[in-house]
Amino acid sequence: MNDNTAVISEIKRLLGDRQRLAYVRSFGCQLNVSDGEKIKGLLRKMGFGFTDDESEADLIMLNTCAVRENAEDRVFGIVGSMKKLKEQRPELMIGIAGCMTAQSHIAEKIKKSYPQVDFVLGTSAINGLPKLLLECLRGARFSADIAEYDDFSATAEQVRESTFKASVPIMFGCNNFCTYCIVPYVRGRERSRRPEDIISEVEGLVRDGYKEIMLLGQNVNSYGNDLGGEMSFPKLLRRLNEIEGDFWIRFMSSHPKDASAGLIDAIFDCEKVAKHLHLPVQSGSDDVLRRMNRRYTAEKYFGIVDEIRRRDPDFSLTTDIIVGFPDETNEDFEATLDIMERVRYDNIYSFIYSKRTGTKAAEMPDGVPEEEKGQRMRRLLALQRDISTEHYKRFIGKRMRVLADDVSKKREGFLAGKSSEFIIVEFEGDSSLIGQFVEVEVTGAMNWAVTGEIVK
């Protein structure tokens, strides 16, 4: 028996026969969502069921994000509001996990200022959850485990939120140290999972009927750099593509500095790899990219895009863009608009720069007024709406393979899903098709989705 087995047995004894419910809420990136599923996996072993209503819960777990300080402020606001819940139900247990609590000063702040919280654990300490919970049940005032970089979560059992879409982390941490990003400090340096473990996990998911496998990492295309040449990310894609079954493979996120010719070859050669690449550019200005420590230029980025467009002019590209990085000039911002015009992204994920304490960018002088940053963001979003409205028309008259995700939120009797190109597709259909692949002929285009009809 491992340590957790004995601890879990004791927890079950203390909890007794009554069904206990846990409310687990994850914030931030898909890796965090995956960690939240693993937290649920451990809680299920301890005998917990789950609820979406925190007022019904015996345990509340918040799995937090630390990418931006306003994300932390939001969590602190939520935790503050739980003070009344704890006063009404002193037996309620409250735990905080994730990137936010991987920072020792945050863990100390919670201990000092939020007495309603019973324990905290960091991103690499998920396996410590049973021990903390047991301490809580035995009356401990406050417990913490922010141990560094135990990758137990690589193979942990999960309570998956979907029965047909699954996330599979393939690596942890980041070596890039972009000047605006806290991730390397809270998730550590890059550690790749063993390829045989990844392959085995994906094979099991496919056997269980999963249709979409999303490979996750802070920088997935640097996968294998720490494996001594045994396996690279393009080789892993090719190996997963050989698994029998009807499914497709997605991945995110990619760093342009590691978007090799081998990666592009694998995307085009492997029929199960989705024909979409999320390639964060962040800025079109070489000066801003240098100060961000992105380690590529706009010219290098264009080289990747040009090679993809040479092979398929309609290939789908999405990106991340930061507006208003410290001392971003009008010329810098115009260069970002220029890159959008040239690449013609299907979608962008854009953010106004937010100072992140603990990063190098937080120490940079910034003379750009917030009002100016807001104006730039509005211009950027207006340009992308125009690009998407026109660019999506290229799909009209074409057939797209779509994984039906859910009923449409906008139209009765319609379903919504995503194509291989990561385009939202809405079409008339019965809810029994959710979780299945369907062939859809595109008949219309909007600036956020296309519409079509199922091909019988």
Looking at CATH, the fold of the domain delimited by 276-394 is given as: Transcription Regulator spoIIAA (3.30.750)
DSSP per-residue string spanning 33-99 = HHHHHHHHHHHHHTTEEE-S-GGG-SEEEEEE--SSHHHHHHHHHHHHHTHHHHHH-TT-EEEEEET
The two three-digit tokens of residue 294, written as one number: 């992105």
Instruction: Inform me whether the pLDDT recorded for 356 exceeds 70.
Output: yes
Q: For tokens 């070489």, name the residue.
A: 286
Q: How many CB atoms lie within 10 A of CB 167?
A: 22
* pLDDT tens-digit series, residues 170-182: 998 899 999 999 8
Predicted TM-score (pTM) of the model is: 0.90
- Residue 416: the pLDDT is 97
Domain 3-151 has CATH 3.40.50.12160: yes
* pLDDT tens-digit series, residues 72-125: 888 899 999 999 999 999 999 999 998 888 788 888 899 999 999 999 988 777
CATH top-level class of 396-454: mainly beta
Instruction: Inform me whether the pLDDT recorded for 163 exceeds 80.
Output: yes
Domains of the chain, residue spans? 3-151, 162-274, 276-394, 396-454
Which of 288, 8, 40 is CA-nearest to residue 133?
A: 8
Those residues whose C-beta lies under 8 Å from the C-beta of residue 326, and which sit 6 or more positions away, are 291, 353, 361, 364, 365, 366, 368
* pLDDT tens-digit series, residues 170-222: 998 899 999 999 888 888 889 999 999 999 999 999 999 999 999 999 899 99
Q: Residues in the chain, how many?
A: 456
* pLDDT tens-digit series, residues 299-310: 999 999 999 999
The two three-digit tokens of residue 309, written as one number: 């467009």
| Residue 323 to residue 381: CA distance in whole angstroms | 11
Residue 273 DSSP one-character state: B
- 3-151 against 396-454: fold identical: no
Instruction: Inform me whether the pLDDT recorded for 22 exceeds 90.
Output: yes
- Residue 1: the pLDDT is 38
Beta bridge partners of 250: 214
CB 393 within 8 A of CB 445: yes
CB 65 within 8 A of CB 28: yes
Ordered strands of the 59-64 beta sheet: 48-50, 20-26, 59-64, 93-98, 119-121, 143-145
Domain 162-274 has CATH 3.30.300.30: no
Phi/psi at 145 (5° precision): -140, 105
